Amino acid sequence: MMSDHLLSLVTFLPLAAALGVALVERRAEGAIRGLSLLASVATFVLSLGLWAGFDPAAGFQFLEDAEWIAPLGARYHVGVDGLSLVLVLLTTLLSPLALAASWRSVGRAVKEFHVALLVLETAMLGVFVARDLLLFYVFWEAMLIPMYLLIGVWGGPGRFYAALKFFVYTLAGSVCMLVGIVYLYVAKGSVGFDLGQLASGAALGPSEERWLYWAFALAFMVKVPLFPFHTWLPDAHVEAPTAGSVLLAGVLLKMGAYGFLRLALPLFPTAFWCFAPLVAALAIVGVIYGALMALAQEDLKRLIAYSSVSHLGFVMLGIASGDPLAASGGVYQMLNHGVSTGALFLLVGVLYERRHTRLLGDFGGLAAGMPRLATAFLLIALSSIGLPGLNGFAGEFLVLLGTFQVRPLWAATAGLGVVLGAVYMLRCYQRVFHGEVVHEENRGLADLDARELACLAPLGLLTVVMGLFPGRFLAVLDPTVRALVEGGGP
């Protein structure tokens, strides 16, 4: 019985916990934090059951299908394939870490904070499991609200501008998508919103398909974010609290690429491959441009935000190259980016809690007094710049290897991003950790404590495990991604 609804349980447990938290007395902050963390950890443990029971060769699993909005033909239809599953796990892993990281740093409106975070978790999971287009859209929009609040309420001094920018940007994209959904629903006739049937139903006219593709693609491009739709990201990250940044970078930035693979590719294959070179070009520009921007930044969070633009460029290049190896590498890179960048934002959060600044110039020489932090930061930075043996390399390697087989020059150009990655990351590391301590405030800072280590350890461990045994993870996602790419391949 439970396994019949395991997926729904995983998806809605955080929301149920949010309702529970909402009932707790406002002053009982310990209970609020404890309950939230417990629910979130339980969600993760349950999601491991999905991983254990998953058969990579068998397509969508843990399916649940029930009537939802009968007059429209929309159904509560959920399930996971390899692509969804790994992203579900990424979400259930990062959410408790984000909560634990906020244990002390969030002291204002604690109850609302936890409700928002738990609602966000359910919304993110919903996006990854929905098999019904309307259901997908509901979750997609539902994500926006708690993230908007996280930035706008618990953010830094410029939070209003950043939150509004985030909201308007993504909403603009979403409105396009909504129009596309409605049009598609009408055009496809009586199949309802079921994704499988929408993909296989009556063919669309060529120009119709292209317009619809763009309605969806714009929403996804903003979310990725692809150059030149990226400028909301640095602002959002700089102002967001640590937990917001972790989930924004770790999970929300995967939504765009996921949308391309889950919706744009199967629904509009001809248009997708027709515009794939353009997407790839934007991705390559993003790889280089993001890295150059990261090189110019003085604010740690802004720097990491731009590095995300660069990394997500690799992801999109892999997906748009048309090569199944590159696409699998791109999806693997989504996970790697979630792990490393999630950890980077946790680390920056640690620094910010102690010094209340994120400017590179305010640090310097921290390695001597904070060896544990320096070591952890180094490991994650190396993972982020794709040191072989760690996770980032496996993803970048597959993306570039696969892309090289079809478009050697694309791969060679994007490869420059790997060199630039080392430039900006080591510069950042040096500015924070090397040299003499020049600011008195940096003396005697406490090194990582047990709670912080516990937050970072799973991610640090994953960078090594995912680097040494990428096959274990790729075996889960590769059949799905390969089928998607080859299904309508160029």
Partner 1 sequence: MEGVTHYPIEAQLHWIVLAPLLGFALIGLAGARLGRGAVSLLGPAAPGVAFVYALDALQALRGAPEATVLAEPLWSWLDLGALSVSVGLRVDALAATLALVVTGVGFLIHVYSVGYMGHEPDGSYARYFAFLNLFTFAMLVLVLADNLVVFFVGWEGVGLCSYLLIGFWYRDLANSDAGRKAFVVNRVGDLAFVLGMFVAWRAFGTLDFARLNQEAHDDGGLATLCTLLFFIGATGKSAQLPLHVWLPDAMAGPTPVSALIHAATMVTAGVYMIGRLGGLYAVAPATLAVVAWVGCLTALYAGWVALAQRDIKKVLAWSTISQLGTMFVAMGVGAYASGLFHLVTHAFFKATLFLGAGAVIHGLAGEQDLGRMGGLARRMPVTALCTLLGALALAGVPPLSGFFSKDAILFAVGVSSVPGRSALCLLAWSAAALTGLYVARMMTLAFLGAPRSAAAAHAHEPRGTMAFALLVLAALAAAGGALGLPEAVAHGADRLGAFLAPGWAGAGHGPAAGAGGHAGLLEAERALMLRSGLLGVSVLAVGVLACTAWGGALEALFEADPGLAALRRAALGRFYVDEVYGAAVVRPLVAGSRLLWRVVDVGLVDAVVNGLARLVGLAAVALRPLQGGLLRGYAALLAAATVLLVVWAARGWFR
The interface with partner 1 within residues 69-88 (CB under 8 A) comprises: 69-70, 76
Residue 127 token pair: 């996006």
Choose between 130 and 276: whose C-beta lies nearer to partner 1.
Answer: 130
Q: Rule CB under 8 A: is residue 154 a binding residue for partner 1?
A: no
Q: Rule CB under 8 A: is residue 361 a binding residue for partner 1?
A: no
Residues 6+ away with beta carbon under 8 Å from 260: 217, 220, 272, 279, 316, 319
61-69 vs 74-80, strand pairing mode: antiparallel
Subset of residues 43 to 72 that bind partner 1, contact rule: CB under 8 A? 66-70
Range in contact with partner 1 (rule: CB under 8 A) among 239-247, 271-279, 339-347, 415-423 = 415-423
- The count of chain residues that interact with partner 1, using the rule CB under 8 A, is 74
Least separation, in Å, of the C-beta of 442 and partner 1? 13
* Contact of 74 with 136, CB cutoff 8 Å: no
Least separation, in Å, of the C-beta of 207 and partner 1? 27
Pick from 65, 61, 60, 78: which is nearest to 127 by CA? Answer: 78
Least separation, in Å, of the C-beta of 387 and partner 1? 6
Range in contact with partner 1 (rule: CB under 8 A) among 94-102, 240-248, 254-262, 464-472 = 464-472
Tell which one of 433, 452, 455, 462 touches partner 1 (CB under 8 A).
433
Q: Which amino acid is at 475?
A: A
Subset of residues 155 to 174 that bind partner 1, contact rule: CB under 8 A? 165, 168-169
Subset of residues 213 to 252 that bind partner 1, contact rule: CB under 8 A? 228, 230-232
Q: Rule CB under 8 A: is residue 441 a binding residue for partner 1?
A: no
Least separation, in Å, of the C-beta of 268 and partner 1? 26
Tell which one of 38, 182, 416, 446 touches partner 1 (CB under 8 A).
416
Range in contact with partner 1 (rule: CB under 8 A) among 29-37, 211-219, 250-258, 363-371 = 363-371
Contacts 24+ apart (CB under 8 A), 428-431: 428/294, 428/300, 428/303, 428/360, 428/381, 429/377, 429/378, 429/381, 431/360, 431/361, 431/363, 431/364
Residues 6+ away with beta carbon under 8 Å from 289: 227, 309, 310
Choose between 360 and 401: whose C-beta lies nearer to partner 1.
Answer: 401
Q: Rule CB under 8 A: is residue 368 a binding residue for partner 1?
A: yes
Subset of residues 87 to 126 that bind partner 1, contact rule: CB under 8 A? 112, 115-116, 119
Residues 6+ away with beta carbon under 8 Å from 16: 39
Q: Rule CB under 8 A: is residue 408 a binding residue for partner 1?
A: yes
Range in contact with partner 1 (rule: CB under 8 A) among 267-275, 342-350, 354-362, 403-411 = 403-411
Least separation, in Å, of the C-beta of 9 and partner 1? 13
What torsion, rounded to 10 degrees, do the Cα atoms 23, 25, 29, 32 define?
-20
Convert 233-265 to b/e letters by CB count within 10 Å (16 or more is b). bbbbbbbbbbbbbbbbbbbbbbbbbbbbbbbbb
Which residue(s) pair with 75 in the sheet? 67
